[in-house]
Amino acid sequence: MPITPLDERGHRWAVTTPASTYVIGVEIDAVTGEATPLQKYWGPRLSVEAARQAATASGGPATPAGARRHVSSFSTPVEVEELLPVDGGRRWGSPSLQVSFDHARSLELRLVHTRVLDEEPGAERLDVVMRDAHHPFEGVLSIRARDDTDVIERWTTVRHLPTGAARPVTIGITRLDSGSWFVPDASAYRYSGVFGAWAEEFQLQRGPLPVGETVFTSRQGITSHIANPWIMIDAGEAVEEHGEVWGLNLAWSGSWRLTTTHRPEGGVSVSAGFGHDGLRWTLGPGTELVTPPVLGLYTGGGFGAASRSWHEYARRHVMPAPDEERPVLYNSWEATEFDVTEAGQLELARRAASMGVELFVVDDGWFGDRDDDTRSLGDWWPHRKRFPDGLRALMDGIHELGMRAGLWVEPEMVNADSELYRAHPDWILRMEHRRRDEKRHQLVLNFARDDVRDWAVGWLDELVTELGLDYLKWDMNRPFTQAGWPERGAAQDRLWIDFTRNVYDAMSRLRRAHPGLRIESCSGGGGRVDLGILRHTDEFWPSDNTDALDRQTIQHGFSQVYPPGTMSAWVTDSPNISTGRAIPLRYRFHVAMAGALGIGGDLSTWSAAELSEAAELIEQYKAVRRVVQHGRLHRLAGPPGQARSAVQYVLGDDVVVLVYNPIGNAKRGPRWLRLAGLDPEASYEVVRGGDAAESAPGRLVQGSRWYGSALMGVGIRPAAWEPVGADYRSDLVALRKIGP
Ligand code: GLA
């Protein structure tokens, strides 16, 4: 089993995953009795005997006698190696746990016990239970490991133990991270993460990790477009298919903070948790607060292997319906914006259905008096002028065309110009004597309130039931401002936690009531993409930018952690409505085929030739989508969207490769594309050779057979990569393993 004791006292443990080991030990100070849980090792898998050596060999607060490394009254703090460095004692770093008792701070924790719990089959959990030396405060550090993933889950629980005292102490919490992780000594430290903005999400950034403390955060109440709550660290040597990588990922969809501490003499810690600086949570007697999980992953196989492990973990342990194939979707937003009518939508639906679309989603504009973005959020009944008889006829029409039906909703929002706001002005996030700042003319409902959540679940449930909806696109179009809850007084910062939890809860209640319902997570594009919301949703809308070239960069960043099957990707019109860039239909399709394919263009303007080319490409996609959505992803060749690149997927015996060349006549760059992740000994037959008619060395002629070793060693020579011809050439190639 994954968690093995390394000593008799239960102070040292080895946490073993298929390819990694994580060794921890609780050090007890002989003089003060203080308990300090430390990370002793995190890296390639060790035998139990080797883990025992790691547990005793590594550093920790007790510097081995004679080592005398920089010993002075300013001695270098060791808290970067702690699993949960507290604000207390001789620590000066960024705390993972900061607690105040009335007017005192500084935690002094004692070990109560450690215990291992059997959970679901294949999973074990270790709890390290500690209490403050004086105050009725308990902190539990939990670690879960599973036998089918290298991802280790950690979280923290804090409790105000009931004492029956007439005047209980006030326990205030200003920092409560899920856990801190230590990346061991290396010659250098480099971080990778994704950063961006609206319409420019998931820009992969990789660079040296500065010495000192670096903070990545969202203070917006949502995950944000600015940064995504994960980081990968390597020694500057990892590449796509090789090298050691340590990754951390916070499964949370509200505000968050991830702090890296790079000690000048080496060693890096990453502490991650919900909430942002300045928030304060009070813990009443008998209550507890549990953090979301922070996930840690070690791999020796480069960034590609890290991504594949995250994808596999998400499919096995996060996604609600991982075995399904995502249907080909149509969304009306770019085609009609707010001009949603029954006739117009049905006309689009007929065209979509004839192309092979399987799910038709009506976007914003179907409710209240919603003719633009200034009004009606909150008034979730069919637009009276446009749908005087309701939406049933439209939804039935979509179903009769053989498609599933979906609707756009934005349950956490309200426009000041709405019946809801006029009836419940107190339902929004607000602070006494402060303005109510609008963004996109909207205010944020206080979803932390149970009555607001119940109201949303009520109308959503009715809508889904009455219209027979199969799908909701759940949007969230602005960050929090004046985020208060006056009725809660000093305890109002809890809304930053309870808001997100109630969003999760609303989604899971809807899913329980409607087991066939699928949900897309959208927040003005990719503002709420994370492993927290993925527990309750099926697809992400990564960006409002649907330009295929920009999307390649966005998809590259997105795919670092999130599985291709969750990545909704639409083919829209050319020139693109936001960038004005013209790109051939085929290239737009091949980019969108790298995820869950959708169509988002104005089909009423597509020519007969375009519609039939689209239908053919949709059919091709359906033939390979299981491999794309569920397969092991390999990102190959140059920077996507800028040079010749490819994405390859392997599922069982099937291999699919999407090849791109945005700059047709570039003389530089590879001509041969070396595949990855194949069985070198096996033969592969070309099932779809791409569109190159002529036979040339390396061209994949349909029916030809190649050894895996040749495909990986020599490579293939895609016609689309030849440095002659037009810009935006692309291709789809499929192979199948046929045995040795
Ligand atoms: C957000 C979404 C878009 C669209 C609009 C509708 O911006 O990201 O896809 O749904 O809202 O108002």
User: Tens of pLDDT along 571-612?
Assistant: 999 999 999 999 999 999 999 999 999 999 999 999 999 999
- In the block, residue with structure tokens 């298929």: 18
Check residue 202 and give its pLDDT.
Answer: 98
Average pLDDT over residues 375-395: 97
How far is the centre of ligand 1, averaged over its atoms, from the C-alpha of 524 (Å)?
5
Pocket-testing residue among 363, 521, 570, ligand 1, by greatest number of atoms within 8 A of Cβ: 363
Check residue 75 and give its pLDDT.
Answer: 66
pLDDT at 739 over 90: no
Per-chain mean pLDDT for the chain: 95
Query: Cα(306)–Cα(312) distance, rounded to whole angstroms?
Result: 10
Average pLDDT over residues 396-423: 98
Q: How confident is the model at residue 63 (pLDDT cuts 50, 70, 90)?
A: very low
Check residue 64 and give its pLDDT.
Answer: 45
Express each pLDDT in 446-479 by its tens digit.
999 999 999 999 999 999 999 999 999 999 999 9
Lowest-pLDDT range, 62-66, 385-389, 536-540, 678-682? 62-66
Check residue 62 and give its pLDDT.
Answer: 44
Is 372 one of the catalytic residues? no
Q: Whose CA is nearest to atom 6 of ligand 1?
A: 364
**Do 181 and 42 meet the contact criterion of CB atoms below 8 Å apart?**
yes
Q: Whose CA is nearest to atom 8 of ligand 1?
A: 524
In the chain, the percentage of residues whose pLDDT exceeds 70 is 97
How far is the centre of ligand 1, averaged over its atoms, from the C-alpha of 330 (Å)?
14
How far is the centre of ligand 1, averaged over its atoms, from the C-alpha of 605 (Å)?
21
Calculate the alpha carbon distances from 678 to 312, 705, 711, 734, 735 in Å: 18, 14, 8, 13, 11
Query: Cα(269)–Cα(600) distance, rounded to whole angstroms?
Result: 43
Q: Strand 230-234 to strand 123-132: parallel, antiparallel, or no bridges (unpaired)? A: unpaired
288 conformational bin, left if phi > 0, alpha if psi -120 to 50, beta if neither? beta
Check residue 486 and give its pLDDT.
Answer: 97
Q: Whose CA is nearest to atom 7 of ligand 1?
A: 524
Pocket-testing residue among 370, 371, 439, 477, ligand 1, by greatest number of atoms within 8 A of Cβ: 477
Q: For residue 192, what are its two tokens?
A: 């990778």
Helix (H, G, I), strand (E, B) or coil at 331: strand
Pocket-testing residue among 198, 338, 364, ligand 1, by greatest number of atoms within 8 A of Cβ: 364
Strands (E), 65-187: 97-101, 109-118, 123-132, 137-146, 151-160, 171-183
pLDDT at 84 over 90: yes
Check residue 266 and give its pLDDT.
Answer: 86
Residue of 234, 498, 544, 573 marked catalytic:
544
What are the structural domains, with CATH classification, of the chain?
A: 76-303 (2.70.98.60), 329-630 (3.20.20.70), 635-739 (2.60.40.1180)
Which residue did the predictor score with more confidence, 592 or 702? 592
How far is the centre of ligand 1, averaged over its atoms, from the C-alpha of 413 (Å)?
13
pLDDT at 701 over 90: no
How far is the centre of ligand 1, averaged over its atoms, from the C-alpha of 617 (Å)?
26
pLDDT at 561 over 50: yes
In the chain, the percentage of residues whose pLDDT exceeds 90 is 91
Q: How confident is the model at residue 61 (pLDDT cuts 50, 70, 90)?
A: very low
Q: Which atom of ligand 1 is nearest to the CA of 523?
A: 8
Residue 438 CA from chain centroid, whole number: 28
Q: Which atom of ligand 1 is nearest to the CA of 544?
A: 8
Residue of 363, 475, 498, 547 marked catalytic:
475
Check residue 542 and give its pLDDT.
Answer: 98
Check residue 39 and give its pLDDT.
Answer: 97
How far is the centre of ligand 1, averaged over its atoms, from the C-alpha of 513 (Å)?
26
Express each pLDDT in 334-373 by its tens digit.
999 999 999 999 999 999 999 999 999 999 999 999 999 9
Query: Cα(544)–Cα(408) distance, rounded to whole angstroms?
Result: 14
Q: Whose CA is nearest to atom 9 of ligand 1?
A: 544
Q: Whose CA is nearest to atom 3 of ligand 1?
A: 524
- In the block, residue with structure tokens 């006494």: 432
pLDDT at 728 over 70: yes
Q: Whose CA is nearest to atom 11 of ligand 1?
A: 524
Q: Whose CA is nearest to atom 4 of ligand 1?
A: 333
pTM listed for this prediction = 0.97
Q: For residue 350, what are its two tokens?
A: 């007929």
Q: For residue 417, what are its two tokens?
A: 């110009």
Tell me the β-bridge partners of 463: none
How far is the centre of ligand 1, averaged over its atoms, from the C-alpha of 226 (Å)?
18
**Do 593 and 628 meet the contact criterion of CB atoms below 8 Å apart?**
yes
**Do 600 and 334 meet the contact criterion of CB atoms below 8 Å apart?**
yes
Helix (H, G, I), strand (E, B) or coil at 209: coil
Q: What is the DSSP letter of 618?
A: H
How far is the centre of ligand 1, averaged over its atoms, from the C-alpha of 311 (Å)?
26
Q: Which atom of ligand 1 is nearest to the CA of 522?
A: 8
Which residue did the predictor score with more confidence, 118 or 436? 436
Average pLDDT over residues 565-575: 98
Q: How confident is the model at residue 184 (pLDDT cuts 50, 70, 90)?
A: confident
Residues in the chain: 740
Is 450 one of the catalytic residues? no
Q: How confident is the model at residue 259 (pLDDT cuts 50, 70, 90)?
A: very high
Check residue 699 and give its pLDDT.
Answer: 80
Tell me the β-bridge partners of 683: 707, 739
Cβ < 6 Å from ligand 1: which residues? 333, 363-364, 408, 475, 477, 522, 524-525, 541, 544
Check residue 247 and give its pLDDT.
Answer: 98
Check residue 76 and give its pLDDT.
Answer: 60
